[in-house]
């Protein structure tokens, strides 16, 4: 028998009210601790190794063969970085994200703390489809919440649970797999490692048996998704359109704990302080991280706390493993500290000026910052692992035997047929193996000249754009089917960067061997990551905030910059390519048909990849001087997102979503 008190909580409580209203009758107060942060994917942190610049000077010949023995890498620790600026603002989350509280006006930013630098492994993280904000983020949030409950020591008191989805998560959640992701997160799964082949069967079992195994069986509770997973399609939490609230109850129906989370795009999660018995009591070591002993710190109420792939958030940083390897971890649970970036930047102009002052490429700046958290060999290995996951998603999409994508729209897979047709054609260069991360071509590299970081290369004929489209469509069909992809920087735009990088590696680079290919891959991803950081801080990468310009537009801009860099462009040409990539995606709406990440998303990625190549080509044809700057286009994108009607922001209430019938 479900307690009447729990049943009344499902119907008698204002869903828009603060959770603290529910806490008056709860258990005794536990000592107060707070936690607020971003959860993402990051590799281990450790002191930097011998520093070897990627291209420390624009006039330096590229160094090749710097990736010996790169094999599979498993990220297993946590790190901190300063969060980017976002569009939403409330008193609870404003401090976290560095806001003054007015999202419609320029922010008064602290010169030291509010830089754009986060880890490139937060811009690129391995997860599952179909959505980073509606699938990956909610799964991480659910796991984060139930893990905190276990750490608080109250998991075995939990008998019932309620999950509430607000705004965009409620409106398009079914098509984006949000409910299934939440259920898997509550059972302890992580987007990076969950077995995607078993997920449908497990969700079906939960729905039929109406039972939930919290954290992989640590606590079995009654849970009927049709009653206890609640959609508020006409309401949103004030902080962000992608809001969710988790609450747990004891056998008497008393509320034990509750928390709200916000999926802000790209799999990033912002959470309020977990409230226990009316007070903040989210017991978590938020700062005890294995950092470079020479790193400096700054008090940071705006700190982002990122977790390892296996846990999604940092757990007990003062455990025996940490103490053994790092004798003096930071264990002050009352404060949150952030590593001050070695080379911080807030804007595109600051990034370019930094490159000039330090005589470094954009990729070298990012590498120098990454060294704050892990050694260079590990950075390179992790980036190559990201690339392998991207390449695998292309291969899986091209070789899929499925004819239809899941969902009510009845969309057919096109990548396999396109792939077969292209393979049957005669190629203007030596054949290559699309299943290989490196590919093959008949060209040979030449030495750098003319003051560029590398030799200039010419793009092949337009015939290769068919391959570009095939690669992008393959990834996004895998994403739509719930397969494993890389958020780059989101799932809805996951095909653009892999397609452009595969295109370059297979047809343009003319690599003499895998070492040269790996050098290009690392530079491409680091450069693209830097551009993504600027958008995340200066605007948003969430379609629920700014429409699809924040997803496909940002991915196009990132890919254009990465391609321009590995094609030998100067830092000004790289910045120009990024600007062009976004300028011609401004105003792009997010109106998925039937709430599925299929129409227009899949084709839009193919077009986004083509735009990225065109943007890089245009930038490389000039001298880097241009009228519109990247910072100006980022600010324009932010303002456009604020002005855009909510029905065009991942709600499926306007645009194609209401004009394309689904039977």
The pLDDT tens digits of the residues spanning 46-80 come to 333 332 233 333 333 222 222 222 232 222 222 22
Q: What pLDDT sits at residue 663?
A: 63
Q: What is the Cα–Cα distance from 431 to 529, expressed in whole angstroms?
A: 31
Contact 136, 496 (CB under 8 A): no
pLDDT the model gives residue 173:
80
Quick check: helix, strand or coil at residue 263? strand
Higher pLDDT, 11 or 567: 567
Please classify residue 64 by burial: count the beta carbons closer than 10 Å to its beta carbon, then call 0-12 exposed, 13-18 middle and 19+ buried: middle
- Give per-residue pLDDT as tens, 493-511: 999 999 999 999 988 887 6
Q: Collapsing DSSP states into helix, strand and coil, what is residue 458?
A: coil
Per-residue pLDDT tens digits for 273-297? 433 333 322 222 222 222 222 222 2
**Digit-coded pLDDT (tens) for 117-162:** 889 998 999 999 998 888 999 999 999 999 999 999 999 999 999 9
∠ Cα 595 601 607 (to 5°)? 165
Tell me the average pLDDT across 23-40: 27
* Per-domain residue ranges of the chain: 132-274, 348-425+462-656
Cis ω for the linkage preceding 489 (within 30 of 0)? yes
pTM more than 0.95:
no
Partnered with residue 79 across adjacent β-strands are 306
* pLDDT at position 490 over 60: yes
Which 3 state secondary structure label does DSSP give 379? helix
Whether the predicted pLDDT of 336 surpasses 70: no
| Secondary structure (H, E, C), 206-258 | HHHHCEEEECCCCEEEECCHHHHEEEECCCCCCCCCCEEEEEEECCCCCEEEE
Closest CA to 177 of 211, 200, 151, 154: 200
Residue 54 main-chain phi, psi, to 5 deg: -65, -60
Read off the pLDDT of residues 393-430 as tens digits, 9 standing for 90 and up: 999 999 999 999 999 899 999 999 999 999 987 554 43
Contact predicate 397/415, CB 8 Å: yes
Cis peptide before 600 (omega within 30 of 0): yes
Length of the chain: 663
Whether domain 132-274 has CATH 3.40.50.720 = no
User: CA-to-CA distance for 654 and 152, rounded, in angstroms?
Assistant: 43
What confidence score (pLDDT) does residue 91 get?
27
For residues 339 and 634, the model is more confident at 634
Q: How far is the C-alpha of 261 from the C-alpha of 595, rounded, in Å?
A: 21
Q: Where are the alpha helices (DSSP H) in 98-177?
A: 120-123, 137-151, 168-176
Task: Look up residue 528 and give its two tokens.
Answer: 């693209």
Contact between 467 and 422 (Cβ < 8 Å): yes
Query: What is the C-alpha separation between 604 and 610, in angstroms, rounded?
Result: 10
Assess contact for 338 and 84: CB atoms under 8 A: no
Structure confidence at residue 175 (pLDDT):
84
Q: 598-656: per-residue pLDDT in tens?
A: 999 999 999 999 999 999 999 999 998 999 999 999 999 999 999 999 999 988 889 99
């Amino acid at each position: 028998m479900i307690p009447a008190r729990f049943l009344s909580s499902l119907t008698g409580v204002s869903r828009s009210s603060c959770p603290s209203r529910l806490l008056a009758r709860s258990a005794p107060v536990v000592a107060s601790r707070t936690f607020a942060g971003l959860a993402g994917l990051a590799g281990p942190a450790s002191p930097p190794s011998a520093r070897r610049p990627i291209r420390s000077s624009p006039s330096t010949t590229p160094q090749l063969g710097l990736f010996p023995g790169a094999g599979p890498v498993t990220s297993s620790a946590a790190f901190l970085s300063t969060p980017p600026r976002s569009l939403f603002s409330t008193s609870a989350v404003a401090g976290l994200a560095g806001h003054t509280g007015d999202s419609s006006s320029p922010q008064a930013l602290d010169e030291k703390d509010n830089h754009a630098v986060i880890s490139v492994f937060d811009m690129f993280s391995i997860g599952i489809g179909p959505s980073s904000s509606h699938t990956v983020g909610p799964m991480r949030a659910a796991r984060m919440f139930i893990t905190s409950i276990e750490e608080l020591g109250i998991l075995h008191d939990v008998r019932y649970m309620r999950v509430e989805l607000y705004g965009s998560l409620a409106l398009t959640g079914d098509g984006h797999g949000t409910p299934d992701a939440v259920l898997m997160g509550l059972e302890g799964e992580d987007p990076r490692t969950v077995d995607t082949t078993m997920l449908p069967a497990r969700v079906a079992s939960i729905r039929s048996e109406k039972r939930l195994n919290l954290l992989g069986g640590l606590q079995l509770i009654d849970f009927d998704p049709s009653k206890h997973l609640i959609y508020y399609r006409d309401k949103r939490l004030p902080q962000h359109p992608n809001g969710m609230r988790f609450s747990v109850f004891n056998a008497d129906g008393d509320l034990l704990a509750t928390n709200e989370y916000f999926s802000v795009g790209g799999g990033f999660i912002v959470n309020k302080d977990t409230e226990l018995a009316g007070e903040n009591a989210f017991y978590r070591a938020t700062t005890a991280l294995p950092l470079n002993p020479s790193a400096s710190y700054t008090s940071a109420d705006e700190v982002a706390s990122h977790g390892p792939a296996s846990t999604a958030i940092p757990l007990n940083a003062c455990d025996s493993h940490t103490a053994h390897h790092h004798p003096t971890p930071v264990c002050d649970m009352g404060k949150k500290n952030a590593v001050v970036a070695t080379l911080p930047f807030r804007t595109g102009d600051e990034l370019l000026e930094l490159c000039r002052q330090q005589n470094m490429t954009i990729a070298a700046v990012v590498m120098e910052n990454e060294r704050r958290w892990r050694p260079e060999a590990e950075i390179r290995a992790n980036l190559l692992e990201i690339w392998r996951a991207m390449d695998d998603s292309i291969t899986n999409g091209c070789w899929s035997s499925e004819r239809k994508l899941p969902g009510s729209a009845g969309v057919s897979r096109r990548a396999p047929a396109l792939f077969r047709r292209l393979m049957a054609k005669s190629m203007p260069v030596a054949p290559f193996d699309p299943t290989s991360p490196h590919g093959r071509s008949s060209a040979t590299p030449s030495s750098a000249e003319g003051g560029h970081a590398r030799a200039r290369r010419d793009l092949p004929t337009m015939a290769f754009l068919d391959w570009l489209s095939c690669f992008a469509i393959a990834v996004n069909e895998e994403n739509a089917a719930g397969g494993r992809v890389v958020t780059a920087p989101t799932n809805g735009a996951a095909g653009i960067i892999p397609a452009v990088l595969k295109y370059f590696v297979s047809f343009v680079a003319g690599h003499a061997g895998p070492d040269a290919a790996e050098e290009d891959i690392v530079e491409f991803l680091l450069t693209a990551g830097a551009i993504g950081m600027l958008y995340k801080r200066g605007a948003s990468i969430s379609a629920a905030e700014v429409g699809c310009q924040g997803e496909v537009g940002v991915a196009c801009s990132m890919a254009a910059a990465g391609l321009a860099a590995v094609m030998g462009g100067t830092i000004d040409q790289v910045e120009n390519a990024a600007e062009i990539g976004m300028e011609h995606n401004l105003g792009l709406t997010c109106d998925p048909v039937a709430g599925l990440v299929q129409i227009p998303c899949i084709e839009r990625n193919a077009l986004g990849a083509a735009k990225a190549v065109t943007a890089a080509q245009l930038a490389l044809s000039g001298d880097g001087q241009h009228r519109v700057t990247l910072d100006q286009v980022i600010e324009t994108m932010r303002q456009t997102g604020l002005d855009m009607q909510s029905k065009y922001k991942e709600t499926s209430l306007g645009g194609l979503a209401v004009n394309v019938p689904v039977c």
